[in-house]
């Protein structure tokens, strides 16, 4: 029974199956789809497009909020459907296609895609595909577990396909706060001044005449794949909490801290989990995605509210959230990713940003994306939006990977996503390096002694000593700067023989 | 006759000579001085402190707006006065000390220093030294040719030393617009929505009780050292103007363009100079420094107004400016650098950012600061504030340096100041590469064929081909990625034998 979810009767005749809706697409089109960190993605159209692409050539530019669930990205990539993909992904099959040069991937700061569409730095979206829990009488859409870029897609697309997901509770209405900045020049300040504030409306405005299809679905979001905390992530959490206690003790913030952002992934989730039972209270989150830990902190009473662009939970936590949604709804605001990640807002609120590094170097530059400088993992996501503009930018990583054969602390990162200017604090299971106000030559010894794995410290010390003998503001032995990576590629380990 | 410039009579007894004022400093203090790109710097105290440091040990942290004139930075560095220096410099002697590891230099985005002082990520300023053209009845200060971080220094410092410069015209009053964002949490939006808008007050608020000394000076700012346009900078200007004409033709902006930012230096100055006689009109600037070209464009009538944090002119242009100041004053607003460079404002206004690269790589990453990855030139300055947040980010460079022995286009930059996400357009005298919406593998051929010097194109093509055979989203031959730099260090040229 979907009729009670389509409150504009004239739209009932737009209901069709996904295969029919898939006929609306033409090769070369730019498509904007809902979906952010596996939450609120379109479930039916990706599969229907894959079916079509198996029968006839079909090649699209696909823009989303962030990563999709349900293996959609991989299936679409393998069907040859994706000529161009932005701004983020986390699918193994799509990753292979990207690294083989078969899919052109535009890795973007998640706050920027909507802006670039608006200013026409990117070609306009032709079709939008947006998951909804209801369509209101004015044709506007109540999104589901993410907002992402859907409001901008709906504003721009000539045709809009709505996936009405019957498995989502109607109680989602009221969870979202939709605000889209105006065009430039002449834009007004974004009026948001605190994480809980609502500045927009509860549904995504849509011109009903452009609704080309409504497809009924009922599959749930893919559950989060986050790993449970382990000894190392617990140690990292301990260092972060001790550091934040120091900030409070120094009077740089109160016991409610500043609004917290945490990147997606197991380590950031573990750090937030570690805040349970900490001395902090009345905390807020202003983040892009809420993971299990955010719900746990709401339950513990320490988190007063959480603002984000999506909610990505494990299966049991998802079930609990949906059961108690009336209680959570008042404590959560879901916003467009342009607002959740906006430099203006992140700088104004003074976020504490907590993101994961793939590797970092002696001077505090961070690689979040490229394995050995060349092969894309997922994408930069929102980490830069927060790291660049927050009051405090922390990057966390385990000190080694691949059973100790890869050091996360290297002489020079093989790819730079975050420059040393955007990195205040580095944390591994061994300790924490507070880099604020330090010159490169002061940063290096701190990073080596606090964060590097003890097995790698002698090599790092030797490199830094040799580099200092060569001189420079940021000393390097240039011909050896990337030798750890090439040694790993040749010998399977970064450890000196 | 300085009495008419001190309009709070109780302060007249604070007048003393610079040597006396220099006695207020103690080793270990943090000192905030006015001065931004050689404009509005303190003239007397740096020399008095140098004198004192030659007699007795004295070691300070020095924070300014940006670079100082009058060789002050070099003299202070050579006297051993500077333990720590931020956020920018451009002095040859200080540069040597920094690269020798003798001065700890904290290279910062120019919008961030005031924020970090406010949040106490940096130790508080003990003494502020601010050049003024007048002190008003309420004790507030009318700054001179720059605002820089002076308003934040005055807010924070326990003691304030004013250098009253009698060579500056009293007509400077009314040129400045002083607005300082509030503390976080609880900060309001910065209300600026267009370049000409005034949101603050005309003088820097000062608690008169904290004015510890007033030193009378009369030396002018050091003149700009910018080079006149040459054939190559004229070619670069031509490419930029043709590109902007294309943007107007495509309807992405009107003939007034969007507010322009141009980094300090000869190439950016030449590009702005090239706008004289272009079809654009009613343009505005929202930049950090105004060079000769800004005055020329005001004179040509094409520039309606200009907002910045400082004015740095050649000697003849300075003379002209001072003579006609009444006319220019209505068309120029000088702001704190935190506002001129603020991410919130730069993103809201949709700036066209034009900055100079030292080198850039096949994928669009830019090095603005470090020669061969290690030796600091000047600092990142405001380039990142604008490049990250503007609507369009252009980086310009001549294709070669050192008589052709150094290519500005390299396989991998030896230091990353601006990641590929922040670089929309690259320009050399050979042409312009529009990188918007392109994946790394699409960027490389464009950059090689449009921007690289023809002598280096075969080498670059060979590198890129070999890299693509290895695979990856951002292909590299890691063991050769920095080989151009090491070859230059060994053989004096980046050209293949």
What does the DSSP assignment read for B434-472? E-TT--HHHHHHHHHHHHS-GGGHHHHHHHHHHHHHH--
Nearest CA of chain A to the CA of B436: how many Å? 6
| Total domains in the fold of chain B | 2
Among the partner-chain residues A189, A414, A417, the one whose CB lies closest to the CB of B478 is A414
- Contact residues on chain A for B468, CB-CB shorter than 8 A: 101
Beta strands B104-105 and A431-434: pairing type?
unpaired
pLDDT digits 0-9 by tens, B240-269? 999 999 999 999 999 999 999 999 888 998
Among the partner-chain residues B344, B388, B482, the one whose CB lies closest to the CB of A388 is B388
Contact A349 B121 (CB under 8 A): no
Query: Do B267 and B365 sit in the same domain of this protein?
Result: yes
Nearest partner of A253 among B118, B189, B113, B30, judged by Cα? B118
Contact B121 A436 (CB under 8 A): yes
Chain B residue with minimal CA distance to A345?
A: B344
Residue A497 lies in a domain: no
Structural domain containing residue B33 = 3-217
Instruction: For an interface test with A, give the residue of B123, B364, B437, B477 to mutate (most A CBs within 10 A).
Output: B437
**What is the pLDDT, as a whole number, of residue A497?**
80
CA A364, A368, A369, A372 torsion: positive or negative?
positive
pLDDT digits 0-9 by tens, B59-98? 999 999 999 999 999 999 999 999 999 999 999 999 999 9
Residue A93 lies in a domain: yes
Instruction: For an interface test with B, give the residue of A358, A367, A436, A472 to mutate (most B CBs within 10 A).
Output: A472
pLDDT at B126 over 90: yes
Nearest partner of B376 among B389, B358, B402, judged by Cα? B358
CA A261 to chain centre: 10
> Chains A and B: how many Cβ contacts under 8 Å?
231
**What is the pLDDT, as a whole number, of residue B265?**
85
Residue B497 lies in a domain: no
Domain boundary among B193, B217, B241: B217
- Contact residues on chain B for A370, CB-CB shorter than 8 A: 472-474
Contact B439 A105 (CB under 8 A): yes
Query: Do B138 and B250 sit in the same domain of this protein?
Result: no
Quick check: A64 and A94 in contact, CB under 8 A?
A: no
Contact A120 B344 (CB under 8 A): no
**What is the pLDDT, as a whole number, of residue A228?**
86
Catalytic residue among A78, A163, A288, A429: A288
Nearest partner of B234 among B277, B298, B183, judged by Cα? B277
- Contact residues on chain B for A112, CB-CB shorter than 8 A: 421
Contact A475 B374 (CB under 8 A): yes
Contact B479 A486 (CB under 8 A): yes
Instruction: For an interface test with A, give the residue of B446, B473, B477, B491 to mutate (most A CBs within 10 A).
Output: B473
Query: Do A401 and A379 sit in the same domain of this protein?
Result: yes
Report, as an integer, the average pLDDT of B469-491: 98
Chain B residue with minimal CA distance to A381?
A: B421
Contact A376 B473 (CB under 8 A): yes
Residue B224 lies in a domain: no
Nearest partner of B144 among B69, B72, B196, B71, judged by Cα? B69
User: Rounded distance, CA B239 to CA B443, Å?
Assistant: 18
Confidence grade of residue B35 (pLDDT, cut at 50, 70, 90) = very high
Contact B344 A349 (CB under 8 A): no
Query: Do A173 and A267 sit in the same domain of this protein?
Result: no
Residue A86 lies in a domain: yes
Nearest partner of B114 among B179, B167, B20, judged by Cα? B179
Residue A420 lies in a domain: yes
Domain boundary among A179, A194, A217: A217
Among the partner-chain residues A348, A481, A485, the one whose CB lies closest to the CB of B344 is A348
Instruction: Return the percentage of chain B with pLDDT > 70, whole number.
Output: 100
CA distances from A370 to A251, A395, A413, B417 (A): 38, 16, 10, 17
**What is the pLDDT, as a whole number, of residue A425?**
98
Nearest CA of chain A to the CA of B415: how many Å? 9
Residue B421 lies in a domain: yes
Nearest partner of A130 among A231, A212, A225, judged by Cα? A212
Query: Do A121 and A210 sit in the same domain of this protein?
Result: yes
Catalytic residue among B131, B163, B288, B429: B288
Contact B437 A471 (CB under 8 A): no
User: Each residue's pLDDT tens digit in chain A (497 positions)?
Assistant: 799 999 999 999 999 999 999 999 999 999 999 999 999 999 999 999 999 999 999 999 999 999 999 999 999 999 999 999 999 999 999 999 999 999 999 999 999 999 999 999 999 999 999 999 999 999 999 999 999 999 999 999 999 999 999 999 999 999 999 999 999 999 999 999 999 999 999 999 999 999 999 999 999 999 998 888 899 999 999 999 999 999 999 999 999 999 999 998 889 989 999 999 899 999 999 999 999 999 999 999 999 999 999 999 999 999 999 999 999 999 999 999 999 999 999 999 999 999 999 999 999 999 999 999 999 999 999 999 999 999 999 999 999 999 999 999 999 999 999 999 999 999 999 999 999 999 999 999 999 999 999 999 999 999 999 999 999 999 999 999 999 999 999 999 999 98
β-bridge partners, A392 = A352
pLDDT at B228 over 90: no
Task: Kindly state the tokens that stand for B486.
Answer: 């090491």
Beta strands A303-308 and A289-290: pairing type?
unpaired
Query: At CA A42, angle to CA A298 and CA A289, rounded to 5?
Result: 25
What does the DSSP assignment read for B139-204? S-EEE-SB-BTHHHHHHH-SEEEEEEETTS-GGGTTSB-B-----SSSPPPP---STT---SBSSB
Query: Do A211 and A284 sit in the same domain of this protein?
Result: no
Query: Do A20 and A159 sit in the same domain of this protein?
Result: yes
CA distances from B328 to A114, B171, B224, B303 (A): 38, 11, 19, 12
Nearest CA of chain A to the CA of B392: how many Å? 9
User: Rounded distance, CA A186 to CA B349, Å?
Assistant: 7
pLDDT at B24 over 90: yes
Query: Do A364 and A245 sit in the same domain of this protein?
Result: yes
**What is the pLDDT, as a whole number, of residue B227?**
86
Burial of residue B83, with CB atoms counted within 10 A of its CB: 0-12 exposed, 13-18 middle, 19 or more buried: middle
Contact B485 A471 (CB under 8 A): no
Report, as an integer, the average pLDDT of B5-27: 98
Query: Do A209 and A240 sit in the same domain of this protein?
Result: no
Task: Kindly state the tokens that stand for A78.
Answer: 């393998």
Contact A376 B474 (CB under 8 A): yes
Quick check: B442 and A104 in contact, CB under 8 A?
A: yes
Query: Do B321 and B397 sit in the same domain of this protein?
Result: yes
Contact A350 B108 (CB under 8 A): no
Among the partner-chain residues B105, B119, B193, the one whose CB lies closest to the CB of A350 is B119
Query: Do A207 and A354 sit in the same domain of this protein?
Result: no
Assess whether A288 carries a catalytic annotation: yes
Task: Kindly state the tokens that stand for B190.
Answer: 């910065």
Chain A residue with minimal CA distance to B437?
A: A122
Average pLDDT, chain B: 97
Residue B44 lies in a domain: yes
pLDDT digits 0-9 by tens, B233-246? 999 999 999 999 99
Domain boundary among A217, A241, A272: A217
**What is the pLDDT, as a whole number, of residue A1?**
79
Task: Kindly state the tokens that stand for B312.
Answer: 């740095």
Instruction: For an interface test with B, give the residue of A118, A185, A385 to mutate (most B CBs within 10 A).
Output: A185
- Contact residues on chain A for B179, CB-CB shorter than 8 A: none
- Contact residues on chain B for A412, CB-CB shorter than 8 A: 373
- Contact residues on chain A for B286, CB-CB shorter than 8 A: none
**What is the pLDDT, as a whole number, of residue B22?**
98
Among the partner-chain residues B119, B342, B482, the one whose CB lies closest to the CB of A252 is B119
Among the partner-chain residues B105, B344, B467, the one whose CB lies closest to the CB of A473 is B105
- Strands (DSSP E) contained in B2-153 are 30-33, 60-63, 82-86, 104-105, 127-135, 141-143
Instruction: Return the percentage of chain B with pLDDT > 90, whole number.
Output: 97
Contact A99 B473 (CB under 8 A): yes
Contact B474 A374 (CB under 8 A): yes
Query: Do B181 and B320 sit in the same domain of this protein?
Result: no
Report, as an integer, the average pLDDT of B125-152: 98
Instruction: For an interface test with B, give the residue of A97, A259, A348 to mutate (most B CBs within 10 A).
Output: A348
- CATH number, position A97: 3.40.1080.10
Burial of residue B403, with CB atoms counted within 10 A of its CB: 0-12 exposed, 13-18 middle, 19 or more buried: exposed
């Amino acid at each position: 029974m979907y009729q009670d979810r389509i409150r504009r009767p004239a739209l009932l005749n737009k209901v069709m199956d996904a295969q029919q809706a898939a006929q609306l697409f033409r090769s070369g089109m730019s498509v904007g789809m809902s979906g952010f960190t596996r939450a609120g993605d379109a479930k039916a159209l990706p599969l229907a497009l894959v079916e079509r692409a198996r029968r006839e050539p079909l090649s699209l530019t696909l823009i989303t909020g962030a990563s999709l669930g349900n293996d959609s990205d991989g299936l679409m990539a393998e069907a040859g459907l994706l000529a161009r993909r932005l701004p983020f992904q986390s699918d193994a099959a799509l990753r292979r296609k990207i690294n083989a040069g078969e899919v052109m991937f535009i890795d973007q700061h998640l706050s920027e895609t909507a802006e670039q569409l608006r200013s026409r730095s990117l070609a306009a979206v032709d079709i939008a595909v947006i998951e909804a829990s209801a369509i209101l009488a004015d044709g506007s859409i109540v999104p589901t577990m993410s907002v992402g870029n859907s409001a901008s897609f709906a504003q721009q697309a000539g045709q809009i396909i709505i996936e009405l997901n019957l498995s989502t509770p109607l109680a989602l209405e009221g969870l979202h706060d939709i605000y889209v900045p105006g065009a430039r020049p002449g834009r007004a300040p974004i009026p948001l001044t605190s994480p809980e504030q609502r500045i927009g409306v509860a549904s995504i405005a849509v011109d009903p005449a452009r609704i080309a299809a409504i497809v009924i679905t009922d599959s749930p979001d893919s559950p989060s794949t986050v790993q449970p905390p382990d000894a190392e992530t617990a140690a990292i959490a301990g260092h972060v909490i001790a550091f934040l206690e120091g900030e409070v003790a120094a009077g740089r913030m109160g016991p409610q801290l500043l609004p917290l952002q945490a990147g997606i992934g197991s380590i950031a989730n573990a750090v937030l989990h570690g805040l349970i039972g900490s001395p902090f209270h009345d905390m807020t989150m202003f983040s892009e995605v809420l993971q299990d830990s955010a719900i746990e902190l709401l339950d513990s009473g320490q988190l007063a509210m959480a603002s984000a662009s999506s909610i990505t939970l494990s299966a049991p936590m998802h079930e609990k959230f949906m059961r108690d949604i009336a209680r959570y709804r008042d404590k959560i605001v879901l916003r467009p990713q342009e607002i959740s990640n906006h430099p203006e807002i992140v700088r104004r609120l003074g976020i504490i940003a907590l993101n994961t590094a793939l590797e970092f170097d002696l001077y505090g530059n961070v690689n979040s994306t490229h394995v050995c400088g060349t092969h894309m993992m997922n994408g930069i996501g929102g980490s830069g939006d927060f790291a660049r503009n927050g009051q405090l930018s922390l990057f966390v990583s385990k000190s080694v990977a691949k059973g100790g054969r890869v050091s996360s602390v290297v002489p020079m990162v093989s790819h730079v996503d975050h420059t040393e200017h955007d990195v205040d604090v580095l944390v591994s299971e061994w300790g924490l390096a507070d880099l604020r106000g330090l010159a490169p030559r002061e940063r290096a010894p701190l990073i080596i002694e606090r964060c590097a794995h003890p097995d790698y410290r002698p090599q790092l010390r030797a490199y830094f000593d040799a580099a200092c003998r060569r001189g420079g503001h940021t000393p390097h032995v240039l011909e050896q700067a990337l030798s750890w990576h090439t040694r790993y590629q040749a010998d399977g380990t970064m450890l000196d023989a």
